[in-house]
Amino acid sequence: MAEMTIKKRPKNLDLTTIRLPLPGKVSILHRVSGAGLFLCFPLLLWLFSASLNSAETFAVFKGVFSTLPAKVILAGLIWAYIHHFCAGIRFLLLDLHVGIEKEAARKSAAVVFAVSIPLTLIFWGVLL
Amino acid sequence: MINRNVVGAHYGLKDWIAQRATAIIMALYTVIMGAVLLIVQPSTFEAWRGVFANGFIKFVTFIFFVSLFYHVWIGVRDIWMDYVKPTGLRLTLHVLTIAALVGYTAWAAAILWRL
């Protein structure tokens, strides 16, 4: 039997030294934001339920927005939704082969942050 | 561009398309609901409840939730597949994810049809 020679390729999986390009950052944050939203569904559905149930639970729902821990969590979730939305539209365009060249892809990744971060700040201002 | 014949049961392709179709439905819902809330500006409980008690809004909101939970199933399944190597643990997480999402769907329906 012939000896299989496995070529040693340079491999770096050390998360502390990996420096992702901008599209890589958009991509991993897309995953992180999606996972965060999933984990917080019980909270979000509970809030949605309270807001619609009765005038009393609506007051509870509004009260939640004025506590600091809730504000921090909701601030994170608002960012997560907006980032996931903006990055998702970019991925749909890439699927349609729009902007798949390296330069265009880097530019559209920058656009995702340029849109999602100010939009997040606006929603924080309005909702929190 | 790689040209190849796609063979098999096409489960992967089906999920890939479903992930994108549900994404488009949710994006449209987000924009439409954003516009509705900007126009109606429901600041009281009665006004807020009134928005979702509307038959059409109730219907599209439910479609949004169903799309959301199907979309989440594909995304979260991918996360388990990428990071959880022991098969037993991964399958357990898959089952728990499905159970949670089916439960959330029923919960969302209950919230909406109580109105």
What is the tens place of the pLDDT at every residue in B67-115?
A: 999 999 999 999 999 999 999 999 999 999 999 999 999 999 999 999 8
Domain that holds residue A40: 22-127
A95 CA to centre of own chain: 19
- Main-chain dihedrals φ then ψ at residue A6, nearest 5 degrees: -100, 120
Predicted-complex ipTM score? 0.90
A116 CA to centre of own chain: 10
The structure's pTM equals: 0.90
Whether residue A61 contacts residue A50, with contact meaning beta carbons closer than 8 Å, is answered with yes
**Would residue B4 count as lying in a domain?**
no
CA distances from A19 to A13, A15, A16, A107, A116 (A): 11, 8, 8, 18, 22
**Would residue B5 count as lying in a domain?**
no
**Would residue A82 count as lying in a domain?**
yes
- Domain containing A120 — which CATH number? 1.20.1300.10
**Would residue B2 count as lying in a domain?**
no
Residue with tokens 């901008």: A22
**Would residue B6 count as lying in a domain?**
no
- Exposed, middle or buried by CB within 10 Å (0-12, 13-18, 19+), for A25? middle
CB pairs under 8 A between A and B: 47
Whether residue B62 contacts residue B110, with contact meaning beta carbons closer than 8 Å, is answered with no
Whether residue B108 contacts residue B65, with contact meaning beta carbons closer than 8 Å, is answered with yes
- Domain containing B104 — which CATH number? 1.20.1300.10
What is the tens place of the pLDDT at every residue in A89-121?
A: 999 999 999 999 999 999 999 999 999 999 999
| Interface subset of B 72-101, CB within 8 angstroms of A | 72, 75-76, 79, 100
**Would residue A88 count as lying in a domain?**
yes
Instruction: Identify the pLDDT of residue B64.
Output: 98
User: In terms of residues, how long is chain B?
Assistant: 115
Instruction: Identify the pLDDT of residue A16.
Output: 85
A interface mutation test: which of B111, B112, B114, B115 has the most A CBs within 10 A? B111
| Interface subset of A 21-60, CB within 8 angstroms of B | 31, 34-35, 37-38, 41-42, 45, 48-49, 51-55, 58-59
- pLDDT of B1 higher than 80: no
- pLDDT of B8 higher than 90: no
Instruction: Identify the pLDDT of residue A3.
Output: 56
Domain count, chain A: 1
Considering only CA atoms, which of B100, B105, B112, B15 is closest in space to residue B66? B105
Calpha distance A67→A127 (Å, rounded): 13
Whether residue B19 contacts residue B71, with contact meaning beta carbons closer than 8 Å, is answered with yes
* Coil/strand/helix, residue A81: helix
Domain that holds residue B106: 11-113
Instruction: Identify the pLDDT of residue A12.
Output: 80
Domain count, chain B: 1
**Would residue B21 count as lying in a domain?**
yes
Question: Are B79 and A31 in contact (CB < 8 Å)?
Answer: yes
Whether residue A120 contacts residue A79, with contact meaning beta carbons closer than 8 Å, is answered with yes
Question: Are A41 and B108 in contact (CB < 8 Å)?
Answer: no
B20, B48, B108: residue with CB nearest A95:
B20
What is the tens place of the pLDDT at every residue in A35-46?
A: 999 999 999 999
Give alpha helix (H) positions in chain A. Answer: 22-39, 41-53, 55-64, 68-95, 102-127
Question: Are A58 and B76 in contact (CB < 8 Å)?
Answer: no
Instruction: Identify the pLDDT of residue A4.
Output: 61
**Would residue A2 count as lying in a domain?**
no
**Would residue A5 count as lying in a domain?**
no
**Would residue A6 count as lying in a domain?**
no
**Would residue B1 count as lying in a domain?**
no
A41, A53, A89: residue with CB nearest B104:
A41
Whether residue A112 contacts residue A26, with contact meaning beta carbons closer than 8 Å, is answered with yes
**Would residue B3 count as lying in a domain?**
no
Question: Are A48 and B111 in contact (CB < 8 Å)?
Answer: yes
Dihedral sign (CA B15, B19, B24, B28): positive
Greater model confidence, A15 or A122: A122
Q: Which residues of A touch B27 (CB under 8 A)?
A: 85, 88-89
Element (H, E) at A20: none
